[in-house]
Amino acid sequence: MDHHQESNSPLKQLFPLSSSPFFSTFKIKKHIFVGISLLISFLIFSVTFVDLVGIKPHICFGFFSSSSTKERRDDHVCDFSHGKWVRSRQRDVDGTSYGEECRFLDPGFRCLNNGRKDSGFRQWRWQPHGCDLPRFNATDFLERSRNGRIVFVGDSIGRNQWESLLCMLSQAVSNQSEIYEVNGNPISKHKGFLSMRFPEHNLTVEYHRTPFLVVVARPPENSPEDVKMTVRVDEFNWQAKKWVGSDVLVFNTGHWWNEDKTFNIGCYFQQGGKLNKTMGVMEGFKKSLKTWKSWVLEKLDPESSYVFFRSFSPVHYRNGTWNLGGLCDADTEPETDMKKVEPDPIQNKYVSEVIQEMRYEHSKVKFLNITYLTEFRSDAHPSRYREPGTPEDAPQDCSHWCLPGVPDTWNEILYAQLLAMNYTTN
């Protein structure tokens, strides 16, 4: 075919009419035929290959199927961190809840017992966008955890979550009086290490109080008089040897990483054995996360340890700080005004980045992101309904949570993420 023929109409080149009165003979150019043949061969090979390796094949050219994106999303773990609070049907509340009579609760978290009149804060459930949160199954969780250890490490908000999980799991135990603290310590008013054993499943659910995760100790010799203690950002907590071998670890920190809990009480940062008074709080926080990362990668088995770092739990002090008249007792329902919702704290960004760095060396390290969903729940704090004996003029508690309450949802998400990883200790 010469250049003059190629300059004719492309339609005539591809589909010239035959002399037959009944049929049109399509004389396709050789190079077009070869190209189409190669494309078809490639598609057949691709579908066959992905089927052999166990991957669902999808047509993903956009104009073929509008549902392909949804199908691919459903093949992966749902993002439980974004959604909305919806009113629960009564059976939803009864299905996974416990009461304030649960003996593992601190008095300060029993808000109705402490005088709160409305119980509406209990009647909400979290509905993620685009998927459902699996129903919490305490029987299944206990069975998956048989002969194992579930460990919470962090500040008192971590204890809040630990007590919630104890009460949720105990609902599946026929004789709850058999659950005991391994060292005989009372739960209420006890600080430090607590370990509750579920004898029927040979399971311990533990709490270790370590607000900074790293070591807090005396400052180096000859430090200035205003330095009372230091946070050693490059030394992981001395209790950490107790956590090795745990099956599930839930870490948290954040509420002590501020100037009130550091500089204002004479607490500064230390690295390499040397005091550093110029190190800022968030710089110290980032360095401590690197120390946590190193410990996890060095000490924990990536095949058997499921590690979570829970995100920052919001506080809701209005019209003042915690020690200057801040309040949260006016709200009785989740926040609906998005203008009042605080942006994601910078701590979450740093935690997320560190976990991303770890994903190839320890695939079972996950970010338990509860900040956004919790930000709406200014109605669910103890506020002025604190434990009996608290002075009337004492600051309101707008950082911890009434139980039953919001931390139950954190544990539902924890359970869902474990399910997604096929968690079991057996």
Long-range residue pairs from 229-232, CB within 8 A, at least 24 positions apart, any chain: 229/266, 229/267, 230/267, 230/268, 230/269, 230/270, 230/275, 231/262, 231/267, 231/268, 231/269, 231/270, 231/284, 231/288, 232/270, 232/271
Q: Rounded to whole angstroms, how far apart are CA atoms 173 and 247?
A: 21
Per annotation, catalytic residue among 246, 397, 399, 408:
397
Q: Is 70 helix (H, G, I), strand (E, B) or coil?
A: helix
Per annotation, catalytic residue among 145, 156, 164, 311:
156
Q: Which of 254, 365, 393 is nearest to 315 (CA)?
A: 254
CA-based max dimension of the chain: 107
Q: How far is CA 327 from CA 16, 322, 382, 399, in A?
A: 83, 8, 11, 11
Written as six digits, the tokens of 296 are 């996890």
Q: Rounded to whole angstroms, how far apart are CA atoms 360 and 297?
A: 11
Q: Rounded to whole angstroms, how far apart are CA atoms 362 and 308?
A: 11
Q: Is 65 a catalytic residue?
A: no
Q: Rounded to whole angstroms, how far apart are CA atoms 208 and 241?
A: 12
Q: Is 156 a catalytic residue?
A: yes
Asked if residue 155 lies in contact with residue 211, where contact means CB atoms within 8 angstroms, the answer is yes
Q: Rounded to whole angstroms, how far apart are CA atoms 205 and 162?
A: 8
- Cβ count near 297 (within 10 Å): 14
Q: Rounded to whole angstroms, how far apart are CA atoms 153 and 247?
A: 13
Asked if residue 57 lies in contact with residue 50, where contact means CB atoms within 8 angstroms, the answer is yes
267-271/248-251 β-pairing = unpaired
Q: What is the CA radius of gyration of the chain?
A: 29
Q: Is 362 a catalytic residue?
A: no
Q: Rounded to whole angstroms, how far apart are CA atoms 149 and 152?
A: 10
Residues annotated as catalytic (active site), given as ranges: 156, 397, 400
